Amino acid sequence: MASNADLTARREAATPRGVSVAYPVYAERAENAELWDVEGKRFVDFAGGIAVLNVGHRHPKVIAAVRDQLDKFTHTCFQVAPYEGYVELAERLNALAPFKGPAKTVFFTTGAEATENAVKISRAHTGRSAVIAFTGAFHGRTMLSMAMTGKTLPYKKKFGPMPNEIYHVPFPVAEHGVTVQDSLRAIEFLFRADVEPSRVACIIIEPVQGEGGFYAAPTELLVALRKLCDEHGIVLVADEVQTGFARTGRIFGIEHSGVEPDLVTVAKSLGGGFPISGVIGRAEIMDAADPGGIGGTYAGSPVSCAAALAVLDVIAEEKLLDRANAIGERIKARVAKVATRNDVVPVTAIRGPGAMIGFDIVKSRGGYEPDAEATKRVTAAAIDMGLILLSCGVFGNVIRVLVPLTVSDEVLDEGLGKLEAALAAAHQA
């Protein structure tokens, strides 16, 4: 059996360095919120494949649905020979859409495809071309989605020039000194200086920023954006790729605000580990593209559709909306208690709806100077202790927790114990 070191050497020889990995830990098997590497070491998984595994690794209901589909067929291309699973999944998501009125859904394979197609649909509907996004946002790594992403490193370096008519305004984060009024004023300046509102096709925003640092979009901002979009005929797009499917304690993160978007992009946890994404939208907007204008060879794979239908069943049957809120409160309470200690790295700004929890590592208690190096020490100590833990944020100082919502209390507490130990170890280093 290959070791982690052997596989790292092979990876470095066979794959480009642009595909980075967080840790040299090669998975052998996984169940629910636990993972074992090729050397037999066990890890508690607080990353969930970056928010893909809300129902955990290999949920029995998902695996059973996939096996059943494998015995029927694996691919036809929906645009050639359609199948019921695609239609049924669209119907299920239309019924869950976070807005009133008729909805329609189209499927793709990746989150980046979803955000790009949201722009395509918005442009077809409005006859306009410009897009407004936010600093700190992450919308994907393809050219258009990368252009919308509001973070240069590592996503944009060496890949310019970016597609044109993509504009960014500051995302409001109190710790960064940016208010909602600052964000709205920046849009006003944008309309005066660079692009008139009648040329803007859509505004895209994450209800809770993912890579940007797990900062929630204030309800005040979302209400103002809805009003702005209504006034100028702009499509409001909620990027729910990371926030969707019970992670925040609601099916969709934007539901916390009461604001209704026009389009919703989905991916990640929809497939329970199988690749699928989509755009859910108001029917009159979704029908703007001509036949053949949207779709893809693997879009809405029958295997992934089967998995996604099972995921929706699991969320309902296991009451994962309530479970997300319970998990989140448990995590925040534990981290808040740890933050009072003097023998751990300074922790502040513990936050997050549901079980989408983040907190900042800073250089001094009571202050807010980001400490990216200490954050790296925390994640490095965690992996040594058997905890898969990720960081994020525009300053690289945010610890994020994306543990599967199906985690047992026992494994959750074990992981929190390892997190606490990692925060202490990083302080001593």
> Of 304, 180, 297, 308, whose CA–CA distance to 244 is shortest?
308
Contact by Cβ (8 Å): 171, 132? no
Contact by Cβ (8 Å): 112, 142? yes
pLDDT at 106: 98
pLDDT at 366: 87
Look at residue 248 and give its three-state secondary structure.
coil
Amino acid at 79: Q
The mean pLDDT value for 334-361 works out to 97
pLDDT at 153: 87
Q: 63-317: what fold? A: Aspartate Aminotransferase; domain 2 (3.40.640)
Q: How many CB atoms lie within 10 A of CB 172?
A: 23
The mean pLDDT value for 49-72 works out to 98
* Whether pLDDT at 1 is above 90: no
Using CA atoms, how far apart are residues 56 and 142, in angstroms rounded to an integer?
A: 27
* Whether pLDDT at 429 is above 80: no
Using CA atoms, how far apart are residues 86 and 219, in angstroms rounded to an integer?
A: 33
Q: Write out pLDDT tens, residues 172-212.
A: 999 899 999 999 999 999 999 999 999 999 999 999 999 99
Using CA atoms, how far apart are residues 402 and 48, in angstroms rounded to an integer?
A: 6
Contact by Cβ (8 Å): 39, 50? no
Q: Write out pLDDT tens, residues 87-102.
A: 999 999 999 999 999 9
The mean pLDDT value for 238-261 works out to 98
pLDDT at 340: 95
Q: Write out pLDDT tens, residues 113-123.
A: 999 999 999 99
Using CA atoms, how far apart are residues 134 and 66, in angstroms rounded to an integer?
A: 37
The mean pLDDT value for 136-161 works out to 94
Look at residue 164 and give its three-state secondary structure.
coil
Percent of the chain scored above 90 by pLDDT?
97
Residue 351's DSSP bridge partners are 358
What is this structure's pTM? 0.96
CATH class of the domain at 4-55+319-428: alpha beta
Q: Write out pLDDT tens, residues 263-276.
A: 999 999 999 999 99
Provide the token pair at 196. 């008139």
Q: How far is CA 61 from the centre of its chain?
A: 23
Amino acid at 207: P
Contact by Cβ (8 Å): 404, 57? yes
* Whether pLDDT at 242 is above 80: yes
Q: Which of 154-163, 220-229, 349-358 has the lowest mean pLDDT?
A: 154-163
3-state helix, strand, coil in the chain (%, to 5): 40, 20, 40
pLDDT at 3: 96
Q: Mean pLDDT for the chain?
A: 97
Which residues are within 8 A (CB) of 355 and not within 5 positions of it... i.e. 6 or more apart? Answer: 247, 248, 249, 323, 324, 325, 327, 328, 331, 401, 402, 403, 405
Q: Answer positive or negative: Cα dihedral of 102, 114, 207, 401.
A: positive
Contact by Cβ (8 Å): 315, 397? no
282 phi/psi in degrees, rounded to 5: -60, 135
> Of 415, 417, 399, 397, whose CA–CA distance to 407 is shortest?
415
Listed by start position, the domains of the chain span 4-55+319-428, 63-317
Contact by Cβ (8 Å): 399, 378? yes
**DSSP 8-state assignment for residue 380:** H
Amino acid at 45: D
pLDDT at 116: 98
The mean pLDDT value for 229-238 works out to 98
Q: Write out pLDDT tens, residues 127-147.
A: 999 999 999 999 999 999 999
Using CA atoms, how far apart are residues 192 and 167, in angstroms rounded to an integer?
A: 13
Rg (Cα) of the chain, in Å, rounded? 21
Q: Write out pLDDT tens, residues 350-385.
A: 999 999 999 999 999 988 899 999 999 999 999 999
